[in-house]
């Protein structure tokens, strides 16, 4: 691979034919920059290019207009930690215990030595960064040493640098993690994080509810910071604490810096936005921009972040040489624990688009989300119905950069590069297992037009988006034809016993086999 500055000099001074030879010899493996933008809790219907009318997302829409908009793009789970685990490791999270929603002081969930998406790209010569929400644990078996070295973490599994929100912002503590440390931490005011109230007079969302700037609706009633009570307790670290309103600006600032510093070589940026997760507290300049309340305003902030990243690519002349993937970590939820008006102001907005369920659910709304790829000059603009999933980025980016994946790594990541690039005849997956937060029993299996659901519990545990589903008893198995019935309302298992049996067996054998990727 030639440094880009050399290519530019060559373009000016060398005869065309020589240049052609040089460049083609140098780029047998393609090495565009890669930016994966993962939104948090963003539903299929939450952006205007996927049908939202009550909120406008011009920057995301521009990505879709200039790239490929997938109508069957999925994340692998309907909560955050398992989807992120699968994105980075290329392995279904249900195969590993301890991959459910991580608590504030969770130890590192991905162990050093694991084959990962950033590790693969590092081998291919990329500079790699994760900026934004992590939620995959930090530190050894005892959890994070908040005042010391936060290790292992992203830097031990393939990232060269990180600038993180450690978990989710409704969990303590509200501090950043830069590489191995909490920046701006004053040693005289150490940070303590725990799950028990540290002293009887410690103010919480229960004892000081009247003082809150955003009230909680369930959970989220422990330590108060910035007028918002959270999950878990913490004290100290005051100089290091951030304001919720500034998260989006911080991610953009750090990303711009990373892009500028690495413009001369291939880079991989995992931009892990916290928008539109709770507590939804977008910057003041976005507050009130939509009629949907802070949930809609957070979507506008997310869209602004996307626009800023694209501007940064433009400024450095990198647009044509960058593959951008836009996706979400799980489907939508309205009330996820704070009274931010999302339910009351929702009106006719359909956060999951035409699909049922949302976050926490294996109905389509839980995992079928906006999914866009853009690479000007390489990806022809259009719409793709191919099935692709965030878990496939590891194998697909390995293919793009001509890297071999360790035999015992990325066990479920399939090479769908040709579909991601919209090549003619490019095929996505012929099957995909979907899961909720757990690892023991609730699954969806999508294959072609059909979808089998297997429920571990007697109710579908679909929270808040369609409340009635949460309380409706479900049989162990349901079968839907997604073409006739995208909303998964008519269980046709009795009418299709052979298909049902085939799907039940296929699901069980995919689970039992321990892997679904064969070879490279």
Q: What's the distance, CA 487 to chain centroid?
A: 23
Q: Are 276 and 40 in contact (CB under 8 A)?
A: yes
Look at residue 231 and give the partner it binds from Ca ion, ligand NG6, none, a contact being a CB closer than 5 to 8 Å depending on partner kind: ligand NG6
The answer for residues whose C-beta is within 8 angstroms of residue 182's C-beta and 6 or more apart is: 146, 147, 150, 175, 176, 191, 237, 240
For the CB of residue 331, give the shortest distance to Ca ion in the complex, in Å.
Answer: 9
For the CB of residue 23, give the shortest distance to Ca ion in the complex, in Å.
Answer: 41
Using the minimum distance from each CB to ligand NG6, give the nearer residue, 173 or 337: 337
Using the minimum distance from each CB to Ca ion, give the nearer residue, 98 or 382: 98
Look at residue 337 and give the partner it binds from ligand NG6, Ca ion, none, a contact being a CB closer than 5 to 8 Å depending on partner kind: ligand NG6
**By three-state DSSP, how is residue 34 classified?**
strand
For the CB of residue 77, give the shortest distance to ligand NG6 in the complex, in Å.
Answer: 9
For the CB of residue 277, give the shortest distance to Ca ion in the complex, in Å.
Answer: 6
**By three-state DSSP, how is residue 327 classified?**
strand
Using the minimum distance from each CB to ligand NG6, give the nearer residue, 68 or 231: 231
Scanning 267-275, 330-338, 405-413, 509-517 for contacts with Ca ion by CB under 5 A, the matching segment is: 330-338
Place of tokens 């937060």: 437
List 34, 37, 54, 80, residue binding Ca ion (CB under 5 A) = 80
Q: Which two tokens stand for residue 234?
A: 């913490």
Question: 116-154 burial by CB neighbour count: b if 16+ within 10 A, else e?
Answer: bbbbbbbebebbbbbbbbbbbbbbeeebbebbeebbbbb
Backbone angles phi, psi at 136, to 5 degrees: -125, 25
For the CB of residue 75, give the shortest distance to ligand NG6 in the complex, in Å.
Answer: 11
For the CB of residue 192, give the shortest distance to Ca ion in the complex, in Å.
Answer: 27
Task: Please give the helix or strand (H or E) that residue 479 lies within, else none.
Answer: strand 477-481
Residues 19-78 that bind Ca ion (CB under 5 A): 40-41
CA-nearest of 401, 380, 399 to 66 is 380
Q: Which two tokens stand for residue 30?
A: 């393609």
| Cα atoms found within 13 Å of the Cα of residue 477, Cβ hemisphere only | 18
Using the minimum distance from each CB to ligand NG6, give the nearer residue, 247 or 405: 247
Angle at 314 between CA 311 and CA 318, to 5 degrees: 130
Size of the site for Ca ion (CB under 5 A): 5
Look at residue 395 and give the partner it binds from ligand NG6, Ca ion, none, a contact being a CB closer than 5 to 8 Å depending on partner kind: none
CB atoms within 10 A of CB 203: 12
Look at residue 135 and give the partner it binds from ligand NG6, Ca ion, none, a contact being a CB closer than 5 to 8 Å depending on partner kind: ligand NG6
For the CB of residue 501, give the shortest distance to ligand NG6 in the complex, in Å.
Answer: 33
Scanning 226-234, 328-336, 348-356, 499-507 for contacts with Ca ion by CB under 5 A, the matching segment is: 328-336
List 167, 330, 356, 435, residue binding Ca ion (CB under 5 A) = 330
| 336 interacts with Ca ion by CB under 5 A | no
**By three-state DSSP, how is residue 345 classified?**
coil
Q: Which two tokens stand for residue 417?
A: 């590069």
Would you tell me which residues interact with ligand NG6 (CB under 6 A)? 40-41, 79-80, 101, 135, 168, 170, 218-220, 231, 277-278, 330, 336-337
- List residues bridging with 389 in a β-sheet: 74
CB-closest chain residue to ligand NG6: 219
CA dihedral 95, 96, 101, 102 (to 10 degrees): -170
For the CB of residue 52, give the shortest distance to ligand NG6 in the complex, in Å.
Answer: 20
Using the minimum distance from each CB to ligand NG6, give the nearer residue, 40 or 466: 40
Using the minimum distance from each CB to ligand NG6, give the nearer residue, 40 or 364: 40
> For residues 163 and 161, what is the distance between their CA atoms, to the nearest angstrom?
7
CA-nearest of 437, 474, 470 to 454 is 474
Look at residue 327 and give the partner it binds from Ca ion, ligand NG6, none, a contact being a CB closer than 5 to 8 Å depending on partner kind: none
For the CB of residue 133, give the shortest distance to ligand NG6 in the complex, in Å.
Answer: 8
Look at residue 170 and give the partner it binds from Ca ion, ligand NG6, none, a contact being a CB closer than 5 to 8 Å depending on partner kind: ligand NG6
Using the minimum distance from each CB to ligand NG6, give the nearer residue, 9 or 206: 206
Q: Are 259 and 316 in contact (CB under 8 A)?
A: yes
Residues that bind Ca ion (CB under 5 A): 40-41, 80, 329-330
């Amino acid at each position: 691979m030639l440094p880009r500055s050399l290519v530019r000099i060559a373009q000016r001074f060398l005869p065309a034919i020589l240049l052609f030879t040089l460049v083609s010899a140098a780029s047998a493996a393609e090495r565009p920059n890669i930016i994966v933008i993962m939104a948090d809790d963003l539903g299929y219907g939450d952006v205007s290019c996927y049908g939202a009318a009550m909120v406008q997302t011009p920057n995301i829409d521009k990505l879709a207009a200039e790239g490929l908009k997938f109508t069957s793009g999925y994340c692998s789970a309907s909560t955050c930690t398992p989807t992120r685990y699968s994105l980075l490791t290329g392995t279904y999270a249900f195969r590993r215990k301890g991959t459910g929603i991580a608590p504030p002081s969770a130890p590192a969930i991905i162990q050093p030595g694991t084959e990962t998406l950033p590790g693969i790209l590092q081998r291919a010569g990329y500079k790699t960064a994760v900026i934004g929400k992590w939620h995959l644990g930090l530190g050894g078996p005892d959890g994070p040493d908040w005042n010391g070295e936060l290790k292992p973490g992203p830097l031990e599994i393939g990232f060269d640098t990180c600038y993180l929100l450690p978990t989710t912002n409704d969990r303590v503590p509200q501090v950043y993690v830069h590489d191995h440390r909490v920046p701006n931490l004053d040693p005289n005011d150490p940070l303590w994080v725990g799950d028990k109230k540290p002293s009887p007079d410690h103010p919480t969302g229960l004892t000081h509810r009247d003082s809150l700037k955003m009230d909680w609706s369930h959970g989220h009633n422990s330590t108060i910071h910035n007028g918002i009570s959270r999950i878990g307790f913490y004290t100290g670290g005051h100089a290091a604490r951030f304001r919720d309103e500034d998260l989006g600006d911080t991610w953009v600032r750090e990303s711009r810096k990373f892009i500028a510093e690495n413009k001369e070589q291939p880079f991989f940026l995992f931009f892990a936005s916290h928008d539109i997760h709770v507590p939804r507290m977008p910057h003041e300049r976005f507050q009130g921009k939509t009629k949907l309340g802070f949930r809609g305003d957070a979507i506008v902030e997310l869209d602004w972040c996307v626009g800023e990243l694209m501007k940064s690519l433009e400024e450095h002349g990198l647009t044509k040489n960058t593959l951008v993937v836009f996706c979400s970590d799980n489907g939508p939820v309205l009330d996820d624990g704070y009274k931010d008006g999302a339910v009351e102001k929702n009106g006719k907005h359909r956060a999951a688009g035409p699909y049922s369920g949302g976050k926490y659910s294996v109905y389509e709304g839980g995992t079928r989300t906006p999914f866009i790829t853009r690479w000007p000059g390489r990806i022809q603009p259009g719409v793709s119905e191919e099935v692709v999933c965030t878990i496939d980025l590891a194998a697909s980016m390995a293919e793009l950069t001509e890297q071999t994946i360790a035999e015992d790594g990325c066990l479920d990541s399939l090479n769908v590069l040709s579909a991601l690039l919209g090549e003619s005849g490019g095929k996505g997956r012929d099957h995909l297992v979907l899961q909720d937060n757990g690892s023991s029993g609730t699954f969806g299996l999508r294959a072609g037009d059909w979808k089998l659901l297997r429920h571990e519990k007697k109710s579908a545990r679909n929270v808040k988006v369609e409340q009635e589903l949460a309380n409706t008893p479900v049989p162990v198995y349901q079968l839907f034809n997604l073409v006739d019935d995208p909303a998964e309302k008519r269980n046709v298992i009795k009418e299709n016993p052979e298909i049902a049996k085939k799907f039940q067996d296929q699901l069980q054998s995919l689970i039992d086999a321990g892997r679904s990727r064969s070879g490279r």
